[in-house]
Amino acid sequence: MTLEASLPDDAATRRKRGLLSHIRFYMSARELVTRELSPQVNGAECSHHSECSSDCCLIDLDRAGAFCAPKARIAMLCLFQTKGAINIICPCQSGLSCISKDPVCSRRCHLI
């Protein structure tokens, strides 16, 4: 005979309800943690480049915040590396190098 079978109906029902409530709470908390820890898509708000799937969190001066942005493509302005939490320009996509062919010009992504 199980413990639940030996309990009166109302006690077993309350126990089941309590257990279901705990399971729902656990699942809700787990979803929140997973959502916060998983990399964000481009356009999502961010406070650090590590939060973004692209690894680039750009400052948005118009909205006084920051958002995830794609890495720079070929011939686009770039940063040599990600420094700090938020950038003003993203680093290059994988396979591209951020170099300046002229000391006067800004760095751009090039295929090397």
Q: How confident is the model over 61-85, as pLDDT tens digits?
A: 888 899 999 999 999 999 877 667 7
What's the pTM value of the predicted model, to 2 decimals? Answer: 0.59
Helices of type H across the chain: 3-6, 9-37
**Residue 76 burial (10 A CB sphere; 0-12, 13-18, 19+):** middle
Rounded to an integer, what distance in angstroms lies between the CA atom of residue 111 and that of residue 93?
Answer: 10
Least confident of 16-25, 51-60, 82-91: 16-25
Higher per-residue pLDDT: 20 or 51: 51
User: In whole angstroms, what is the distance from residue 101 CA to residue 6 CA?
Assistant: 82
